[in-house]
Structure 1
Amino acid sequence: MKLNTIKKTVYCLSLLAVIASCTSDFESINKNQQGATDELLAQDFGNIRGPLKVVFNGVFKQDPVWMYQVQQNLQGDIWSGYMATPTGFAGGSNNTQYNLINGWNGFAWDIAYVDIMANLLKVEHQTKTKGLYPEIYAMSLVLKVEAMHRIADIYGPIVYSQYSSEAAVKKYDSQEDVYNQMFAELDEAVTQLSKSADAGGKSIIASSDLSNYKGDYAKWARFANSLRLRLAMRIVKKNPTLAKTQAEKAVSQKYGVMQGQGDTFTFLSGFKNPVNEVSSVWADICMSADMESNLVGYGDPRIAVYFNTSTQFPGKYKGIRTGIEIADKPEAKALRSDFSRVGKVVNTTETVWMSTAEVYFLRAEGALRGWNMGDTAGNLYNAGITASFVQQNLAGEAAAYIANNTKMPVDYVDPVDAANNGVAVNKVTIAWDNAASNEVKLQKIITQKWIAGFPDGQEAWSEWRRTGYPKLFPVVVNKSNGVIGTATGVRRTGFAPSELAGNPEGLKTGQALLGGPDNGATRLWWDTTGPNF
């Protein structure tokens, strides 16, 4: 990790300053600083494509790479059980041992408001405010929900409905209110995108669409419906009635949810997935012990796509356990830096935001809960595994994997320090079993969803917090001074330091909505302690 770069970079603009620059003078905002006229900028939607490009890049920060590292890699990617680090950052006491580093954890917030919300407001001004291009505005609403539900799932309450307000204090919305507004925004987006799809042909938004959809209205509607399904499932333990309504609405809508491989939403960034550099070049991230335990235990062929074999232990996959004692010294990093690095899945300029496989697993859980998801839980579960194998070009190996009813995760052994060894905790087989309890069936669904979702650790961390699955190895060393429980793990991060500097009164409204201290132990609104069923 290029800590010297982070220390020298002043990126954390205050939210108040960002909002002021985006709401006080739209004419100034949209004036090209190189002298181009508004007419020239409007040609081929240049005045829209510019802001949208920044938005696309900000969801998973592609460039510069170090921003992705502090936006997600040293948070969700690790807390999800996907990846681990051989490096003892911050003197060997950091996020991995639950000593949360505010200077890291505020970046997701700052990127969301500087890159995403500010630029979406510019797009809104060029479309909805001027009564133009409703299709582009609809697309921007879907992007907004995709980007900002991730932020709400990191922090809880966020500035959302009040973002464009002229008020000096930007008040926060509760996470419940944010989700309700997002459902409404998806309503608006799907209505417009469906209307445009019904009219036939591809859209005027193709030049502004940096995804594999290339302006296909029907696919954008399908993505919006799939996001609705994801959000519906997130709130199932808090508001099961609304969750069922929204989930069934997503599946039954005219264009439905993702079903074919071409429906998977992929951002065509032009940059290598940032995990590639963090892992292959910087050697700051490797396979986790949890991934080793599950993938090796299941004999999962996706392991060769997700990771490289260890150069330290040729021919073997070797992960690192999260939350172990690692000194902040070069020689300490060398002990494990040649464990399995992240593989060819990130050696690409395409970043998956949401996959067809995930949607099948969401539907499988919905069916398990008795919702109308169009098929049985078992069939949808098998379809999710198959879709994941197809996504990784392993279609021919899916059937045998699905049928296996004996293999289970294996114990973890740390060849450097036996104190970090662990007995396998996620003891569940692969094959669907109609006779199993709903809890075991859910563990199977979420375990396979977790495997299929790699390398998006943010989404996996959210689902782990919601369901408790897959079961992960607890940290060996907990340096939170008793704040965060070893068994319960990190539930959120504290609000961004930039808010204390730029929106202190607004920050107080967010803290008041938390229902607990502004720390990593306080649960989000949808993250309840109640049972899954």
Structure 2
Amino acid sequence: MKHQILTHFRVYLCLSLVILTIGSGCTKNYSELNTDPTRLTTLNSGDVKGLFTNAQYMGMYSGRSSSEYQYAQGFFADLFAQYSAITATFDPTDRYNIAQEWIQEQWIATYTKSLPPLMSILKETKTPETKALNSIARIWKVFVMHRATDYYGPIPYSKIGSDSTVVSYDSQKSIYLDLFKELKEATDVLNANIAQPSYGDKDVIYNGDNRKWVRFANTLRLRLALRISDVEPAMAKLEAEAAVAGGTMAELSDDAYLKVGGVNYNGYNRQSGWNEFRMSSTMESVLGGYDDPRMSKFWAPSVNTGKYAGVRNGMNVAEIVAPANDPDNTSGPSDALLPGSMFKTPSTVMYSAEAYFLRAEGALNGWNMGGAAEALYEKGIEMSLRTWGITDNATINSYIKSTNLPKAPGGYFNTPALTDIPVKFSSVPEKQREQILTQKWIALFPEGHEAWASIRRSGYPKLYPLVHSDNPDVPANKIIRRIPFLNYDRDRNAAAVKAAEALLGGPDNAATRLWWDVKH
């Protein structure tokens, strides 16, 4: 019997073609297609482009499903990054309790919904006329896979789609090495074929703009370079400088979003209507203390008090139901991030502001980033403010030079201030690093996936300890480092999962650090 991932791979190709053709032929021949992948070798150009649309939505756990985003990210990375905190009594994930029946949605979205169409595209685009299609698909595959490996560490990678009863896992180091190779090769080919038509309106991020995909790929390469900067500093410098030389995202028009409309909605917005989380005290301390103009863009004042108020991560049921932590006394998402706007507000993929913060940190490392750390840091802040519609130059400049400090939220737990750094760039190198990483954290919102990875790697921004942890491997005063391997794949791929435990460098639990997580 062939491995379940392979079966899912074939099934999803069939389902993708159903969506594309709006017909019954694929369903009618379902069993044949599921057992004979050669039937899928006749995809035409329109089919290939349509598959890319699905790969984009599913790579971000977004689109048509009502729960994928929440189960894949909202209940996990967004909480671990302390953007939000749980105020629903049934949900223990904010106390580091890994609910496998929820987190498996991330695995399913990646391996059975996003990768199958991508692999089919890569198979079908091997001619000179399809080099742009192939290159962009390779770039997007890197994006999808880096998110997966940064959750678990080792994952199935090089053997995806293999006709085997066991699909082996790759070490995270080997995966990262290949991610860099893929980005370099894809951008080289895409640059050489920059005028070649690609996905057009089937590309729901850049509408087939190849130049924007090059800048996106270089920014992703820079992101990954910073990720490995403590474990492989020489390689990180080489990759980072090559990415910047190739041109990273620089303008608001480079910001990457998934379009919404029709049956495809913003997954973050969709989950907001279930009233299960509120602004974290971490965000309250930083945004409130800085008098940050993005506060009202991210969050709404509490219904009862008209003030912005967060809650602590890791509350138990008794604390959740305390009046001070009641949803009507704390801050939920802003109108732009509520269900009423889920067909208006596009889903965040990557901001150009991040590129400036990455370059600023690289400059602190002594790398050639095309500018000094302070100037790049300030440009990153400006770009983030403008991304959220704050365009008044006086407001922007005042914020950049502000000496305000994070505030003490107080509240039910009498919470102190998170840290003591202002926005204004410091003369102390380690303070500079904390400022860059803290402002990057704000700028990444609501993309908790990347924010959590950045925190684990750098130690910044500082986070409040959980009030309680339900996880015996990760005490309340420690940061959760990874998602353990899933029972979902153990049930289907047991030998490979067992073998992968040896690749971790520690036990298969939430306290074991990933390959690149070595500094703090």
Mark the CA change 1:394 to 1:329 in structure 2 (over 3 Å): closer, same or farther.
closer
Aligned partners of 1:327, 1:518: CA distance in 2, in Å?
31
1:385 aligned residue (381, 387, 390): 381
Q: What letter matches 2:65 in structure 1?
A: P
Mark the CA change 1:225 to 1:25 in structure 2 (over 3 Å): closer, same or farther.
closer
Q: Aligned residues, how many?
A: 496
User: What's 1:241 paired with?
Assistant: 234
Please state if 1:66 is matched with 2:67.
yes
Question: Contact 2:484–2:510 at 8 Å: present in 1 too?
Answer: yes
For residues 433-448 of structure 1, what are the structure 2 equivalents within 5 Å? 433=426, 435-436=427-428, 438-448=429-439
Aligned partners of 1:215, 1:64: CA distance in 2, in Å?
25
TM-score between both structures, scaled by the size of structure 2:
0.89
Question: Contact 1:226–1:359 at 8 Å: present in 2 too?
Answer: yes
For residues 154-173 of structure 1, what are the structure 2 equivalents within 5 Å? 154-173=151-170
Offset from partner CA, 1:23-81 (integer Å, 9 cap, x none): 79999996976238999x856x3311332222111122223231111100011101101
Q: What letter matches 1:206 in structure 2?
A: G
Shift of 1:20: 3.6
Mark the CA change 1:100 to 1:26 in structure 2 (over 3 Å): closer, same or farther.
closer
Question: Contact 1:15–1:503 at 8 Å: present in 2 too?
Answer: no
1:351 aligned residue (347, 350, 370): 347
Mark the CA change 1:492 to 1:15 in structure 2 (over 3 Å): closer, same or farther.
farther
User: What's 1:11 paired with?
Assistant: none
Aligned partners of 1:282, 1:25: CA distance in 2, in Å?
29
TM-score between both structures, scaled by the size of structure 1:
0.87
For residues 6-85 of structure 1, what are the structure 2 equivalents within 5 Å? 16-20=3-7, 22=9, 34-35=24-25, 45-62=45-62, 63-85=64-86
Shift of 1:16: 3.0
User: What's 2:34 paired with?
Assistant: none
Aligned-residue identity in percent: 34
User: What's 2:422 paired with?
Assistant: 429
Aligned partners of 1:351, 1:154: CA distance in 2, in Å?
20
Name the SS for the 1:352 alignment partner: strand
In structure 1, stretches of 5+ residues that fail to align are 1-13
Q: What is the RMSD of the two structures over their aligned residues, measured on CA atoms?
A: 2.7
Aligned partners of 2:442, 2:2: CA distance in 1, in Å?
36
User: What's 1:367 paired with?
Assistant: 363
Aligned partners of 1:445, 1:25: CA distance in 2, in Å?
42
For residues 121-160 of structure 1, what are the structure 2 equivalents within 5 Å? 121-128=119-126, 133-160=130-157
Q: What letter matches 2:172 in structure 1?
A: Q
Q: What letter matches 1:282 in structure 2?
A: W
Q: What letter matches 2:230 in structure 1?
A: K
Offset from partner CA, 1:418-469 (integer Å, 9 cap, x none): 3x23111222111012x21x21110000010011111011111111111111
Shift of 1:474: 0.6
Mark the CA change 1:278 to 1:162 in structure 2 (over 3 Å): closer, same or farther.
same
Question: Contact 1:485–1:521 at 8 Å: present in 2 too?
Answer: no
User: What's 1:304 paired with?
Assistant: 296
Q: What letter matches 1:424 in structure 2?
A: A
Question: Contact 1:22–1:29 at 8 Å: present in 2 too?
Answer: no
User: What's 2:112 paired with?
Assistant: 114
Aligned partners of 2:212, 2:193: CA distance in 1, in Å?
11
User: What's 2:36 paired with?
Assistant: none
Deviates more, 1:50-59 or 1:317-326: 50-59
Q: What letter matches 1:353 in structure 2?
A: V
Question: Contact 1:232–1:243 at 8 Å: present in 2 too?
Answer: yes
For residues 390-405 of structure 1, what are the structure 2 equivalents within 5 Å? 390-396=386-392, 397-405=395-403
Name the SS for the 1:220 alignment partner: helix
Aligned partners of 1:495, 1:205: CA distance in 2, in Å?
35
Aligned partners of 1:186, 1:496: CA distance in 2, in Å?
28
1:473 aligned residue (442, 464, 473): 464
User: What's 2:508 paired with?
Assistant: 518
1:282 aligned residue (267, 271, 274): 274
